[in-house]
Amino acid sequence: MAAPLDLDQLQSFCAIADCGSFTEAARRVNKTQSAVSMQIKRLEERLGQTLLARDGRSVSLTHHGEVLYERARKMLRTNAEILDHFNDSDLAGSIRFGVPDDYAVRLLPVILSSFQRTHPRIAVDVSCMASEELLNGMKAGRYDLIVFTQGTDHNFGELFRTEKMFWVASHGGRALASEPLAIACGPNCCIWRKDAMEQLDRSGLDYRVAYTSSNATAISSAVLSDLAIGFLPESALQPGMRVIGEEYGLPRLADAQIALTRASHAYGGIYDALANHIVQSMGNLEGVVQVEAAE
């Protein structure tokens, strides 16, 4: 009977895959770089395959590495769940959490305030910024857990919510009648902008990007101030906005896909407590935000 794989080796392997660097991975798993290199060598020898492709200072996964990465993550998660099951101590610690400000204004007060009431010994340090920046920060080791818009450069993470995207204008505003149509949106890297621009180009509608910001609050302010129309997911709609659509010749937009991803060490315990709370809390918001915004 073959001996089981070494979880410590898998942890180091996943850390390298997460950050693309032996040096940074060694820091994350509290080992020397030479010790991590030896772990990967033994893991590759055990599996009989090359798992990592080294190109100068950068490291990427080979095909066999990608296959292992997904399965190794599952093993680390299962290991954490087993340890949690037999651990009777109260959950305590700190979590570095990132969330796009598209959702932060409406969701953070609901989600984090209730989480802090039920888990007073867990400190959550929150950063709000664009999904692209959060993903880069995750790779750099600045976060344990992030919520992000799936489709931003890479399709990965744990998809847990899909929302409709809506064209919105200010109640009683005149931006909708502007020629060309004034649009407020995110920067070029924004997946919602890419989709909206593609759909507008296909429709033949004459438009101009009148207001650009990576800050969702700023975009909402531009819409509410009647500087332009915009497009937002359901959970980002605000009172004072009017949902508009095909009756004004505007094309249908792709749904927003909201996902959660975590560092390879962030399984079990305090991390699962926050992740599960986010998923459950956002699921309970279904159909609530849109009604409030349309009043």
pLDDT at 290 (0 to 100): 46
Write out pLDDT tens, residues 170-179. 998 899 989 9
Domains annotated for the chain, with CATH where assigned, are 5-83 (1.10.10.10), 90-151+269-279 (3.40.190.10), 164-253 (3.40.190.10)
The tokens 């344990």 sit on which residue? 144
For the cut 70, the answer to whether the pLDDT of residue 41 exceeds it is yes
For the cut 80, the answer to whether the pLDDT of residue 292 exceeds it is no
Write out pLDDT tens, residues 102-132. 777 767 777 888 999 999 999 999 998 888 8
When comparing pLDDT for 129 and 153, which is higher? 129
Write out pLDDT tens, residues 245-255. 888 889 999 99
What's the pLDDT band for 27 if we cut at 50, 70, 90? Answer: very high
When comparing pLDDT for 278 and 153, which is higher? 278
For the cut 60, the answer to whether the pLDDT of residue 282 exceeds it is yes
pLDDT at 234 (0 to 100): 86
By CB atoms closer than 10 A (0-12, 13-18, 19+), residue 185 is buried
Average pLDDT over residues 36-48: 96
For the cut 90, the answer to whether the pLDDT of residue 78 exceeds it is yes
Write out pLDDT tens, residues 233-273. 888 888 899 999 888 889 999 998 889 999 999 999 999 99
220 alpha-carbon distance from chain centroid = 20
Sequence-separated (6 or more) residues with CB below 8 Å from residue 140: 19, 24
When comparing pLDDT for 42 and 153, which is higher? 42
For the cut 80, the answer to whether the pLDDT of residue 191 exceeds it is yes
Give percent above pLDDT 70 in the chain: 93
pLDDT at 286 (0 to 100): 56
Spatial contact of 251 and 199, defined as CB atoms under 8 Å apart: yes
Average pLDDT over residues 209-226: 91
What's the pLDDT band for 293 if we cut at 50, 70, 90? Answer: very low
Q: Which two tokens stand for residue 118?
A: 């039920």
Instruction: Look up the pTM and report it.
Output: 0.82
By CB atoms closer than 10 A (0-12, 13-18, 19+), residue 87 is exposed
Average pLDDT, the chain: 88
By CB atoms closer than 10 A (0-12, 13-18, 19+), residue 263 is buried
